[in-house]
Structure 1
Amino acid sequence: MLRMQRALGHAGFSAHTIKLRANSGWYGMEPMALQLRELVDEVTSEGETCALVGFSMGGIVARYYLQRLGGAANVHKFIALSSPHFGSLWAHLLPYKGGRQLRIGSEFLDNLNRDAAMLEDAAPVSIWTPYDATILPQSSSRLPLGKTYQVPVSLHRWVPQNPAVIDIVVAELAEVFASGVSKNSNQLSCTKKSRR
């Protein structure tokens, strides 16, 4: 996410990355979502909101924060990059809690998707690649609402570094401010517009 963080900085955003502890998902999405809540609380002042960009499992952690921990009130834009919203076949090989949560048909994901409409106020965006060998089926990376972008990136781990993906993220975040909205603006990034 460092390349994206630099690009967002050049575009006038204050971008923060979060290195989640126990980021393998061993203990599930919930402890990581609590860490995300702490970061958002640190980087936003009273009455401010921020944008969240989550890559892979980070997008699911962000969704749990938004949908289960009251985060929707603090976020005006949510962008998920190659996140397994409907699970991945590979997760069936992971014997720990996070792996079970990210399986196709898991109760965890079914619950999030049942009330995905809670994300509407965060103007959700999903960016995915049809060549993703980590998120199978690749269509699982498409949110059931909001905007969707398909970008031909060869590998899952290259998605957040891809120039076309970065351009989409920057444009989506800039659009919030161009429209006159008066909000300050596995891996996660939290951004807010810098005051110049």
Structure 2
Amino acid sequence: MRTTRIRAALIAAIMTAVSAFAVSAPAGAAVPGTNDFGCKPSAAHPRPLLMLEGFGGNSDAWRFFAPKLKADGYCLFTTNYGEHPLLKALIPNPIEGIVPMQQSAKEIAPFVDRILAATGAAKIDILGHSEGTMMPRWYLEKLGGAAKVQKFVAMTPLWRGTAFFGAAQLRDLLTPLGLAGPVIGLVHGLCGTCTQALTGSDYLNELNADGEAIPGIEHTNIVTRYDELVQPYTSGIMRDGGTNVVLQDVCPNDVSEHIAVAFDPNVLQLVERALDPEHAKPVRCAY
């Protein structure tokens, strides 16, 4: 009985916290300039760009990047993914990336096919932020998505997960005591992504078994030294391929952290350089 009460209290606390976040988040309507299935890629930008945001947000996370990329001639697409059924029933605004990432990856697959069919393109590019870098790896590596993607630009990626204020270490300490399984099981039932994002998770171990870089894909990884959620931030530096960019190596006075990179004009310039290196311009650092 006591265990049942504790479980109920924990569920209520998590739902309350997420609900509070959701109320403050904008509505999840498509960002202007995105999801125009009549858009035809130009010779300058021949591949549609799928933008995948991070945990707990929705497609509104691209409201800063989208207008500028659209003005540059990209066909842009976004989609809300990974909504928890309970939250979806209780909260009007989409809160994404809650369910296990394998499930979210299965949602992404048909959306990519729809983009390709509508635009006539052979491949897409992906711009991901936070979970939007981890989740599509399952699609690329396990669901045949790699053959449909040319460039993968990752902002604050966590290829090797995050320690997240000692959560990964606590899990490892509880394992010999036989306590890690029940705790992980409870958290995973409420937030499948939360346990998968931790360093050393089964999800990441399976993906990294054959390396971090995905053959045939052009990787660019943009990290910030001030990332408070990816711990250490070097988890986003790919060890076996790709181009790794530390934001502060380009703009030393830029203090953008994990969330702020999605609203950072310096990061936008780095993204544009990665997507179109042939027409790359020097980054003009703004503060």
CA shift digits 1:144-196 (9 cap, x unpaired): 22001111443211112211111111121123x76xxxxxxxxxxxxxxxxxx
Name 2:150's counterpart in structure 1: 76
Instruction: Name the SS for the 2:215 alignment partner.
Output: helix
Name 2:262's counterpart in structure 1: 160
TM-score (norm 1): 0.82
Determine if the alignment matches structure 1 residue 40 to structure 2 residue 112. Answer: yes
Q: Contact 2:82 / 2:98 at 8 angstroms: preserved in 1?
A: no
* Mean CA deviation greater in 65-74 or 115-124: 115-124
Name 2:242's counterpart in structure 1: 146
Name 2:132's counterpart in structure 1: 58
Name 1:190's counterpart in structure 2: none
List aligned pairs for 1:41-190, cutoff 5 A. 41-45=113-117, 48-90=122-164, 92=167, 95-96=187-188, 97-116=192-211, 119-144=214-239, 145-152=241-248, 153-175=255-277
Unaligned runs of 5+ in 2: 1-61, 84-94, 169-183, 249-254, 280-287
1:18 pairs, out of 72, 79, 100, with 79
Q: Contact 1:120 / 1:146 at 8 angstroms: preserved in 2?
A: no
Q: Contact 2:226 / 2:256 at 8 angstroms: preserved in 1?
A: yes
RMSD: 2.1
Query: Structure 1 residue 64: deviation in Å?
Result: 1.1
Name 1:28's counterpart in structure 2: 100
Q: Contact 2:82 / 2:97 at 8 angstroms: preserved in 1?
A: no
Name 1:3's counterpart in structure 2: 64
* Mean CA deviation greater in 156-165 or 15-24: 15-24
Query: Structure 1 residue 77: deviation in Å?
Result: 0.4
Relative contact order: is structure 1 or structure 2 higher (C-alpha 8 Å, sep ≥ 6)? 1
d(CA) in 2 for partners of 1:118, 1:112 = 10
Q: Contact 2:80 / 2:96 at 8 angstroms: preserved in 1?
A: no
Higher Rg:
2
Instruction: Name the SS for the 1:35 alignment partner.
Output: helix
Q: Contact 1:49 / 1:75 at 8 angstroms: preserved in 2?
A: yes
Q: Contact 2:82 / 2:101 at 8 angstroms: preserved in 1?
A: no
CA shift digits 1:95-120 (9 cap, x unpaired): 22322211111121122122236613
Instruction: Name the SS for the 2:154 alignment partner.
Output: strand
* Mean CA deviation greater in 138-147 or 123-132: 138-147
State the percentage of identical aligned residues. Answer: 26
Instruction: Name the SS for the 1:156 alignment partner.
Output: coil
Q: Which runs of 4+ in 1 moved over 4 A?
A: none
Instruction: Name the SS for the 1:110 alignment partner.
Output: helix
Unaligned runs of 5+ in 1: 179-196
